Amino acid sequence: SGEGADEFFGGYRIYQTPFANAKLSWAPKGLLKGASKAARALGVRGANYLERASETPEDWYYTNANGVAFSPEERERLRAGKRAEGSARPAAPQELIAPAYAEVAGLDDTTRMQYVDLFFWLVGDILLKTDKMSMAHSLESRVPFLDKRVFEVSATIPTRLKANGEQTKLTLREAAERAIPKDWAQKEKLGFPVPVVSWLRQDRYYDEIKAWFTGDIAERFFDTGELVRLLDEHKAGADRSRKIWIVYMFLMWYKIYFVDQKAPEKPAA
């Protein structure tokens, strides 16, 4: 499997963001932030670009799913009245990854994003899923890009030879051209998505998840009205699929491991 190639050699398109942001480096950060808010209020495209250009990666970047997970404000709305009195506020993702950023404070923004992904995205998401799914089917997966010697080579390659404003994985693509056709080596990066966005707009799946979102388990943890609002917004055309899926998977996980497998109570003496 190819895990590690993107993190080592600069393959994710999000690594190009610092190059795009540099075009607005002349503008005051406060002006960019104000323009972002105005664009968002007017429904004009480019609000996210302006907001990111006004910030550092510490402000907005923590995984490649940035922008689709719940913001702190959204989490508070979803959990309205459900958190136990006196319980601590959940840590924001940015707080959790702050030590990693501090370790590479002197490096360029793209390299710092790669560093964060090595310790959080790669280890906590990609490799975890690969390991579980391969073993569930009696397969042993191998990850040659994660060989120590490959990492040592990648660490010698400067950022300008990993990504720029036009392309990603520059050096790795160039090396690949020695073995495969150029149009293959330079092909746009594609993931392995399934059509969850369209599925969740179909009545069959909308109704199924709405039943989960208004059920007893959901009532324990969430404001179910907010959950249904997410579903309705998605069905009306806005993409809320990742947020819906996160909650749906949590509810299913909780049912399997805390309801269905709950240990029976001991009989009274």
Residue 148, in any domain of the structure:
yes
Radius of gyration from C-alpha coordinates of the chain: 22
The three-state DSSP-derived secondary structure of 120-162 is HHHHHHHHHHHHHHHHHCCCCCCCHHHCHHHHHHHCCCCHHHC
Query: Do residues 108 and 164 lie in contact, with contact meaning Cβ atoms separated by under 8 Å?
Result: no
Among the candidates 140, 155, 185, a domain finishes at 185
Q: Are residues 108 and 47 in the same domain?
A: yes
Distance CA 101, CA 55 (A): 14
H or E stretch including 189?
none
Q: Are residues 129 and 169 in the same domain?
A: yes
Q: Is the pLDDT of residue 214 over 70?
A: yes
Q: Is the pLDDT of residue 144 over 70?
A: yes
Q: Are residues 176 and 215 in the same domain?
A: no
Among the candidates 156, 185, 214, a domain finishes at 185
Question: Which residue would you say has higher pLDDT here, 266 or 220?
Answer: 220
Distance CA 18, CA 163 (A): 10
Q: Given this model, what pLDDT does residue 152 score?
A: 96
Question: Which residue would you say has higher pLDDT here, 264 or 5?
Answer: 5
Among the candidates 121, 154, 185, a domain finishes at 185
Quick: pLDDT tens for 64-89.
555 557 877 788 888 877 665 556 67
Q: Are residues 173 and 51 in the same domain?
A: yes
Q: Are residues 113 and 18 in the same domain?
A: yes
Count how many domains the chain has.
2
Quick: pLDDT tens for 87-130.
667 777 778 888 999 999 999 999 999 999 998 889 888 999 99
Q: Are residues 114 and 209 in the same domain?
A: no
Distance CA 153, CA 176 (A): 15
Q: Which domain holds residue 228?
A: 196-260
Q: Given this model, what pLDDT does residue 193 score?
A: 82
Residue 77, in any domain of the structure:
no
pTM of the model: 0.79
Residue 161, in any domain of the structure:
yes
Distance CA 65, CA 209 (A): 22
Q: Is 222 helix (H, G, I), strand (E, B) or coil?
A: coil
Residue 81, in any domain of the structure:
no
